[in-house]
Structure 1
């Protein structure tokens, strides 16, 4: 039976591909202890690079990997451990860098470059019998686009910690939280939250806001207001090295949300905003017209927030009313339209399995709730299944969990039916049987994503 987030805390081709240039290279890679492989690389028409690794005993299946936000460097597997295991099982691996001349938020080129990589692999290595796409983090959003558009080129999709609610929702709820933190603890930075001029300015802003949060954590009033901002951020309340807090242990819930903030969440998402704005051509989000009282009421953290406000002798409704009245940030309609066009998904055209950790500090598991609702509304819900791992951290999967997810998806491709293959018990049994590095699949029902406009 699925568990609510609060209770569970206690328990735990292609027609559009680009032509290859003449720079493809092939090199025999040193054989590992278990698997001899050949490494390939090349360059696509827009300057993106692609790489591939094929084991000597190839099973005919190509795994196309979409990497996450960060350096525009080609990668062909989620982790080194998963690459070793997948090559040993006979899979070929491939992936591209995306267009290196654009923003690190590479949604304008990524899907195109990934389809081009399939063509590059086919021309250089050989035609795969089947293609399965895998994506992680921002690459999960790329992979969701591939799952929507890839029928006939890709057979199935495996998403890991995917940013599947899309870029617009991400920018909206992150801005809600950043605005609240600046309003309470760093008013001088209120005008500087958007239209960031460069990554250095964004990083400096993140440092100032984090320092302000560190100071605020020392008082009951500060902790209550941090919890409010964390609710707007969809911030999980289970931090690294900690036990999951009990449902009514609101002080511990806030302490663990603060731990995420202290350990660098703002230092990631604020520079990330600069990259998104760079790609969209301006700031796509605003706070004007947002009802911050309603946002609190909609959050599954609302009981925690109200309890901490009571302990601090503060009125949460007064604070949320003040936030609503002071909300003056406006975004660019053109930038929002650009981001919507490049970073929104809502249907699938091939069997897709999403796997998410239950406590993800950067891509909240609540994104899966928003994505599932859109896919269901599109009429393609039968193609989508979601599974969850009881662990803290963004994309913190074991090799066994990744491989078990892939094998489950393959069973769906072979039989034409999901059956019970994606139940927590089935995935856990499959992962444990691999005798690799353990697994923690669990029943989970993500709460609604807060901040959706």
Structure 2
């Protein structure tokens, strides 16, 4: 473990590899020679900074996504900090001239509060140990997009622009209420196992891998399993995608348990939701063996058994984070057209939030033809980053991004619930 705010300096290795490692207390040069590879701890939180030799004076901060709290036997421990999504993405960003930096956050799980604080602290630290950027951008992925959306509202003086990717644009409360819809649909179809807690308040130490996944897998393998799980998906407004159902169920159970512990109680509600299926949905389900009477019975059960949140826990979820939409600097969202974990309707929800605040001129959307959650190529990430940087520098909104790189025009559906 590295000591607090200390960077391990290996002069001989740095000389061989051509790396410049700057001690945390050193005065940064006006224009660093490099490359610079920096690892250390800031306030006890590990971080990574990488700067290319041809630094273009733009810093791209990276807010990583959800990391399992590793609070059950057999679960891997905390990952080391990354300065971007993967080594391939890091190298592509460095090759394009960008400095990149990322924090591990002080905690794992729904660490939105820690991510906001620790990422901003690292952005300030960068200026002290490397040099002051001309432009600072914030890119966040999945849960990291929540950190990004909220940070660009709170700290416009720190971040000149933001790129929330695979973005949770509806905010935390509506997102987790969608999880409640999945739980409600499951309870209507199969009944909620008492060992899991309750549909609206899961057991605090519930483990997905050992307690939930085996039951779901057995139910899916049954002759009527596909039709029943498709009812749940449609009733909850979840699109198709590789994350359904097990990826979503990990959050609906173990992930929700961690957040409820953090927030101090149940965080989801569906008191103002209405569950209905279209005629085409009903016809589709009938073809899978789930008839109209069965569908009506499930929907009736969902409407009768409502879930309510604890006010204090709900307030925590709202704070970390629902958005005001009052953005002063450019925000370019980046999303794939197929993602069951973070549905495309999140973009419609965010665009409406920004429009309600009268700031739609500061928001734009980029779509790729990728299939799955956060499935962006390194080239796509660099291209979108360049588009955002140009917007910040020139004030000109980005136009259509290159189709040959997999960018597409797309009109997302509306958010399915209030």
- TM-score bucket (shorter structure): 0.7 to 0.9
Deviation at 1:224, TM superposition (A): 4.0
Cα shift readout 1:107-132 (whole Å, capped 9, x = no counterpart): 12211111110111111111112111
| Contact residue 184 and residue 199 of structure 2 kept, 8 A | yes
Give runs of aligned pairs for residues 227-242 of structure 1, distance below 5 A.
227-239=230-242
| Contact residue 162 and residue 332 of structure 2 kept, 8 A | yes
Over 3 Å counting, the alpha-carbon distance change for 1:367 and 1:26 in structure 2 is farther
Q: What TM-score does the superposition give when structure 1 sets the normalisation length? A: 0.78
Pairing 1:376–2:374 present: no
- State the match for 2:383 in structure 1: 404
Q: What TM-score does the superposition give when structure 2 sets the normalisation length? A: 0.84
Pairing 1:274–2:253 present: no
| Contact residue 150 and residue 350 of structure 1 kept, 8 A | no
Give runs of aligned pairs for residues 52-451 of structure 1, distance below 5 A.
52-70=49-67, 71=78, 73-100=80-107, 103-189=108-194, 191-211=197-217, 213-216=219-222, 218-219=223-224, 222-239=225-242, 260-261=244-245, 264-287=247-270, 289-291=271-273, 294-297=274-277, 302-311=278-287, 312=289, 313-315=291-293, 316-325=295-304, 327-347=305-325, 348-418=327-397, 421-423=398-400, 427-429=401-403, 432=404, 439-451=405-417
| SS of equivalent residue, structure 1 residue 64 | strand
| SS of equivalent residue, structure 1 residue 355 | strand
Distance in 2 separating the partners of 1:329 and 1:128: 48
| SS of equivalent residue, structure 2 residue 158 | coil
| SS of equivalent residue, structure 2 residue 113 | coil
Unpaired runs of 5+ in structure 2?
20-32, 68-77
| SS of equivalent residue, structure 1 residue 58 | coil
Deviation at 1:106, TM superposition (A): 0.6
Unpaired runs of 5+ in structure 1?
1-19, 240-258, 433-438
Give the root-mean-square deviation of aligned CA atoms.
2.6
| Contact residue 199 and residue 274 of structure 1 kept, 8 A | yes
Over 3 Å counting, the alpha-carbon distance change for 1:283 and 1:204 in structure 2 is farther
Distance in 1 separating the partners of 2:247 and 2:392: 40
Cα shift readout 1:195-229 (whole Å, capped 9, x = no counterpart): 4444553444431552354145x23xx54432221
